[in-house]
């Protein structure tokens, strides 16, 4: 008790913009959850109409060797989840410890203005192209693979399980590679938290 942080699971260090939220008391379970360690990823997706999206995500893990499966927990109202339901494919880009923060800054906000509470009708109608200015190529599955990623993999969506305010997307890994030497950017270094 006695510790405070902004609400909505998001805090910032001095190098990143402050995200909305009011200080609040942290409870024991929340403090413990905040000690969990995560890598920082960008989930690439595309819609049936060919629109692309990129989403910042911590909650990615391997869950099976054979077949090689991963689980990604995605907010129920995310554009990325809608695209994954439509096309059943995703890419997972691992951000690099050296310059991943800059990419995280570009992709942290929701693509759709309407996802942020309290926006005017005009602002709510805006769809933000988070990939603008970020060099990327398209994998054969149509999803973006970032040039500056440490590594990446693609997956076919096998199962979707609603889990509270997120949906667990179980993906079968179909391809992947490492592009650069070095290690992944981890959440602790990023300076924003997504847990509690």
Residue 35 burial (10 A CB sphere; 0-12, 13-18, 19+): exposed
Of 20-28, 63-71, 74-82, 172-180, the segment contacting ligand FMN by CB under 6 A is 74-82
Kindly state whether residue 74 participates in binding ligand FMN, applying the rule CB under 6 A.
Answer: yes
| 57 vs 143, beta carbon nearer ligand FMN | 57
Q: Judge whether 112 and 127 are in contact, CB under 8 Å.
A: yes
79 vs 139 by CB, closer to ligand FMN:
79
Q: Is 10 in the site for ligand FMN (CB under 6 A)?
A: yes
When binding is defined by CB under 6 A, the residue of 136, 152, 153, 192 that contacts ligand FMN is 192
When binding is defined by CB under 6 A, the residue of 52, 56, 92, 169 that contacts ligand FMN is 56
**Which residue lies nearer to ligand FMN by CB, 68 or 128?**
128
Site for ligand FMN in 12-31 (CB under 6 A): none
**Residues β-bridged to residue 6:** 23
Question: Segment 130-159, which members bind ligand FMN (CB under 6 A)?
Answer: none
List interacting residues with ligand FMN (CB under 6 A): 10, 53, 55-59, 73-75, 78-80, 108-112, 115, 166, 187, 190, 192, 194
């Amino acid at each position: 008790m006695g510790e405070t942080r902004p609400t909505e699971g998001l805090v910032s260090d001095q190098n990143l913009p402050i995200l909305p939220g009011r200080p609040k008391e942290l409870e024991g379970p929340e403090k413990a959850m905040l000690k969990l360690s995560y890598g920082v990823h960008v989930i690439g997706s595309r819609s049936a109409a060919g629109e692309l999206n990129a989403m910042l995500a911590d909650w990615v893990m391997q869950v099976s060797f054979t077949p090689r499966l991963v689980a990604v927990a995605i907010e129920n109202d995310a554009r990325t989840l809608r695209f994954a339901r439509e096309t059943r494919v995703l890419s997972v880009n691992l951000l690099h410890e050296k310059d991943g923060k800059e990419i995280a800054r570009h992709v942290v906000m929701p693509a759709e203005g309407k996802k942020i509470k309290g926006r005017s009708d005009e602002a709510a109608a805006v769809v933000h192209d988070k990939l603008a200015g970020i060099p990327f190529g398209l994998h054969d599955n149509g999803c973006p693979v970032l040039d500056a990623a440490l590594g990446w993999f693609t997956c076919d969506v096998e199962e979707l399980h609603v889990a509270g305010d997120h949906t667990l997307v179980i993906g079968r890994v179909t391809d992947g590679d490492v592009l650069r030497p070095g290690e992944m950017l981890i959440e602790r270094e990023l300076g924003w938290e997504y847990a509690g």
